[in-house]
Amino acid sequence: MSVPPPDLERLAARSWRGLEEERFGGWLLRAGGGFTGRANSVLIAGEPPVDLRGAVDTVTGWYERRGLRPRAQVPMPGAEHADAAFDAAGWIRDDDNLVLTAALAGWAAPQVDVHLAPTPDDAWLAGYRYRGTPLPPVASAVLVNADDPVFASVRVDPAPAPLAAVARGVVVDGWLCVTAVTVDERYRRRGLATAVMAGLGAWARDRGGHSCLLQVAGGNAPALALYERLGFTEHHRYHYRLGAEPERRPG
């Protein structure tokens, strides 16, 4: 794909927003009640309106005033100078995340029924395991905070059995941005992740979508193998820089 990393990150940011956002020159400050790094980090995709040392101080204060740990999402290549400034300020570096892209053309139709809904119901929310844990109450507000998101699910066994697989998609300027792909451990190795991806791909093509992007942890070998089979390749990487935890004052 020929889209530069900062441009693709700005596009992806429109699919997964903070509940509060503020422009800071070419940077985007985001806060979302602490749910997910992307909704609670400053996106480094351009230049700040002040020198980098002052920018780091401004970002630190912005998050501390909201009781959140300061965090920066740093796409590479392109943000090396900002990354060095955060490093010099003592912000620790998290592991790499890979941004993968693929063309939507040629994706096979799903082999099972994939249900699509404009909002997540309780079963969908229970099926999405963010980093293996149940969702906090603020998650619902973050999940629906985009233009026309869709929530995909596959049910194998009737309720009250859990959903077998879930995922979320948003189309932004022809790009299908996929997040929240989760397969319940009881239903793995049945091709259900491929099915929800196929269902979202068909939905996106009907809306003029031409390409897909998603993010995956660099150490998630099973997910990387799945997406490679679907034709995804690495576009770029990003990591987070984390400032000090804010002081917790007694109530």
User: Is residue 227 within 8 Å of residue 105, measured between CB atoms?
Assistant: no
Q: What is the pLDDT of residue 181?
A: 95
What element of type H or E holds 217?
Answer: strand 211-217
Share of the chain above pLDDT 70, in %: 98
Q: How far apart are CA 211 and CA 213, in angstroms?
A: 7
pLDDT value of residue 250:
57
Tell me the per-residue pLDDT of 114-168, one tens digit each, with 9 for 90 and over: 999 999 999 999 999 887 778 999 999 999 999 999 999 999 999 999 999 999 9
pLDDT mean over 218-231: 92
Q: How far is CA 63 from the centre of its chain?
A: 19
Q: Are 34 and 136 in contact (CB under 8 A)?
A: yes
Q: Judging by beta carbons within 10 Å of its beta carbon (0-12, 13-18, 19+), is residue 202 exposed, middle or buried?
A: middle
How far apart are alpha carbons 230 and 198 in whole angstroms?
A: 9
Residue 249, pLDDT > 70, answer no
Mean pLDDT, residues 33-54: 97
Cβ atoms of 113 and 248 closer than 8 Å: no
Structure confidence at residue 244 (pLDDT): 95
